[in-house]
Each structure stands twice: as C-alpha cells, then as structure tokens.
C-alpha cells in the first residue's frame, strides 16, 4: 500500500486518531453527520455533483470546516462508500448465522428492507449507493474496491453448504452477484412503494429469488439466439456506432468521471475533435448511450413477442437474446448506475424510458400467469428483478472468476428464471 493510500484511509470513516477527551464524541458525531449529508447528495447527484461546499451547507458548516474532517471531496466520497459497505456487510454477517443458504437469502433481504424502512423514515442516515463507486480514481478507487471485494466474498459465502455441494465457486459468485444487484437496483424501484408495504415486497422478492418464474411443467432450456437475425443494422454511421459502443463499455467500467473524452478517444485511436463532432457535451453522450441501449431492448422485445404466443417461451427467449447481447460485439447495454451522473431532468427522462421497457417485461409475466405458463408472482417486482439481473450480467468478468461469455446465460438467466437454488 502506498503512502497516499494510507493518507486516504486516515481520512475515511475512522477519521483522525481517537482522542482521550470527551470531545472525541462530538468530533465523531459531526463526522457522521457530514457522511450522512454527503451520502444523500451522492445518491442524488453522484460523485460528479457532490462538492464540499454543498455538503457543508447541508450540515451548517463552512467549507473549510468540512476539510478539517475530510481533506478532499474524494476522501469524503470514500468515507461514504466505506460506511455503506460496512452497514450492508453487517447485514450479511447477521444473515450468515441462518442454518442454510435459502434462509440466509431470506434473512438478508428482510434485514436490508428493514434498513431501507429506517432510512426512508428518517430513523437512520442515508446509505450511499454502490453504483457510483467506479467513478473514483486511484488511490480512492482501490481502497473502496478492496473493501467491496471483501464484502462480496462474504456474500458468496452465504451460498456455501453441504446441501448445495454442486454449487461451484463460479456458480456461487454469479448468484451472489444477482443478489447484490437486487439490493442495488431495489433502492430505485422501492420508491414506488410505501415503507409499510416493505414486508409484502420481501415476501414477493424471496418467492421469485427462491422459486423463479417457471409454471407447472415448464423447464429450463438454453435457447440458441442469432442477434444478426434479430437486430437491424445500425442506423447511424459505422463510426458513430463504434463510438457509442466504446463509450458504453468505458462508462460501465469506469463510471461517468472515469470515462473521459481522452480515454474514449484513446480507446478508439481518434482525436478529441471526433468526440465533439458527435456530441456537444458529455451528458449528451451518456443519453445517447442510454437511448441506444433502450432501442436495442425495445427491438429485441418486439421481435421475440412476435415470434411466439407462449409467454414462458417469450420470457426465456428474451433472457437468451438480451444476455447474448451483453457479451456480443455490439454490447453491452449501458448499466443503470450511469443514471446518477445525469442532470435531474435528463435522469428522469431516462428513468421513465427504462420504466416503460421494464413494464413490457411485466406484461409478459402477467400474461403468462393468466395463461398458466408462468408462476403466480408479482409481475412488476418480477420485471424489476429480471432487469436487475440483466444489468448485473454486463459485469460478469469482474465478479465471476473463470466464467466465459458463453456461460452468462446459464450463470445469470437460469438462476433468475428457475430460482437461485435450481441445480
């Protein structure tokens, strides 16, 4: 670890060395108040939009007072993310005490929804969303990334049991990734529900995670997909299409701040002027990447729904096509974590567009329930969980060691559609 890394750690949640006087309690309370205010701003505006000045304003301090606790904005962001990881990790530690993996999954979701209830009710401070962690630069990115990987390893351990000895480390990692993405994306769609309904949400989420969507007599099948037959040729010029693909991949990997104009241009071996030829501003580029992803999802939905009247077949084919797209030369889809970097008006427009696409998944599930090919589950919650799993699959390289792109359908679609513990 470098000296600069140690300096960042010193200004993270633990702050300055403990003091012997009673004033340390006051110091710690003020530090936590700053982290809470910053976490709220991070969740609304991302790392890009958070400043020491607006955090200071929210806690009734001047900016220089905040720097007494956190020297730089990036150090404060680290503190927020480490605080969030520690709080969710504590839930995992409690859930791990349950006797078997299914009970651990149910307990973890229950604890997480109870935490969300307390946050929404104002009983606890906000929890920073993990999605914007990738926007940090080194050494802050390394510190937060290492902490998150330790948390993820403990999440994977929830699936360890003699009863499920067939579940290899690769299979456990994919299931842990699906579970973590439900928590990340759930913060967004839970806003539609009154906190008093979170108990019902827990029951319905667990039902889907444990038992999947398949109706009586329906089984898993690995559908073969030809994206060339399913998707039209790009409507933009080849250069523009290539630019959007490169930008999408870089934003998924490094977040909004990490995907600089210089890095996108460098990856494509073009000049910065080429970027400004296609897009006037970086926000416009993110919107263009989202719109391209949405157009792809809509086209795949229309194509699949026109091919069959069997709703279980529609759902499994949609999964096969969308997961195949994630690893194709045209893919992946832009991750929803990029939403937080957009200005509020643009962000709301993209969220609404994503909601309409998710509603179509919900429609397939609802029609399948009526026809009997899909289990009686909550269609809207099911659609959001399906979308979250699709979102997770774009990152399989980082979280599922040893997996190949061809395995993503088995690693992600199968446990989502058949249940996390379907062999």
Written as tens digits, the pLDDT of the chain (423 aa) is: 333 333 333 344 443 333 433 446 888 999 999 999 999 999 888 888 899 999 999 999 999 999 999 999 999 999 999 999 999 999 999 999 999 999 999 999 999 999 999 999 999 999 998 877 888 888 999 999 999 999 999 999 999 999 999 999 999 999 999 999 999 888 889 989 999 999 999 999 999 999 999 999 999 987 888 888 888 776 566 777 888 888 888 888 877 666 666 777 777 666 656 655 555 567 778 888 889 999 999 999 999 999 999 999 999 999 999 988 988 888 899 888 777 777 778 888 888 888 899 999 999 999 999 999 999 999 999 999 999 999 898 888 889 988 887 788 889 999 999 999 999
In whole angstroms, give the CA distance from residue 105 to residue 209: 9
Give bridge partners of residue 214 from the DSSP assignment: 374
pTM, 2 dp: 0.87
For 193, the 3-state DSSP assignment is coil
Please, how many CA atoms are within 13 Å of residue 122, restricted to the half-sphere of its CB?
Answer: 0
What does the angle CA 382 – CA 127 – CA 391 come to, to the nearest 5 degrees?
35
């Amino acid at each position: 670890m470098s000296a600069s890394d140690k300096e960042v750690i010193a200004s993270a949640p633990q702050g300055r060395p403990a003091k012997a006087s009673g004033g340390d309690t006051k110091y710690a309370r003020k530090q936590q108040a700053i982290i809470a205010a910053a976490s709220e701003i991070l969740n609304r505006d991302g790392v890009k939009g958070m400043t020491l000045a607006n955090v200071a304003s929210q806690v009734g301090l001047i900016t220089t007072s905040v720097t007494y606790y956190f020297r730089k904005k990036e150090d404060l962001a680290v503190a927020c993310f480490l605080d969030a990881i520690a709080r969710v990790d504590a839930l995992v530690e409690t859930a791990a005490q349950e006797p078997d993996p299914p009970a651990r999954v149910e307990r973890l979701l229950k604890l997480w929804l109870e935490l969300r209830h307390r946050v929404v009710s104002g009983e606890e401070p906000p929890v920073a969303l993990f999605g914007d962690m990738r926007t940090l630069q080194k050494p802050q990115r390394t510190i937060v990334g290492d902490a998150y990987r330790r948390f993820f390893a403990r999440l994977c351990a929830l699936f360890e049991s003699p009863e499920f000895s067939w579940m290899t480390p690769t299979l456990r990692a994919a299931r842990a990734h699906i579970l973590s993405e439900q928590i990340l994306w759930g913060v967004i769609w839970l806003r539609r529900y009154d906190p008093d309904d979170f108990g019902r949400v827990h029951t319905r989420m667990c039902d889907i995670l444990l038992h999947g969507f398949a109706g009586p007599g329906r089984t898993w099948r690995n559908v073969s997909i030809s994206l060339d037959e399913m998707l039209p040729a790009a409507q933009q010029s080849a250069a523009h299409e290539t630019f959007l693909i490169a930008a999408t991949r870089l934003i998924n990997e490094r977040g909004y701040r990490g995907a600089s104009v210089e890095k996108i241009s460098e990856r494509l071996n073009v000049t910065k002027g080429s970027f400004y030829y296609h897009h006037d501003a970086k926000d416009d580029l993110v919107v263009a990447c989202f719109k391209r992803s949405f157009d792809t999802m809509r086209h795949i939905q229309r194509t699949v729904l026109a091919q069959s009247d069997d709703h279980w077949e529609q759902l499994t084919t949609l999964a096969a096509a969308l997961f195949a797209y994630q690893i194709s030369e045209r893919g992946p889809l832009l991750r929803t974590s990029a939403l937080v970097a957009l200005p509020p008006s643009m962000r709301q427009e993209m969220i609404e567009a994503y909601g309409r696409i998710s509603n179509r998944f919900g429609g397939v599930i609802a029609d399948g329930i009526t026809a009997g090919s899909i289990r009686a589950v909550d269609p809207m919650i099911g659609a959001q969980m399906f979308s979250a799993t699709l979102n997770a699959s774009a990152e399989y390289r980082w979280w599922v060691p040893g997996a190949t792109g061809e395995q993503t359908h088995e690693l992600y679609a199968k446990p989502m559609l058949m249940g996390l513990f379907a062999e």
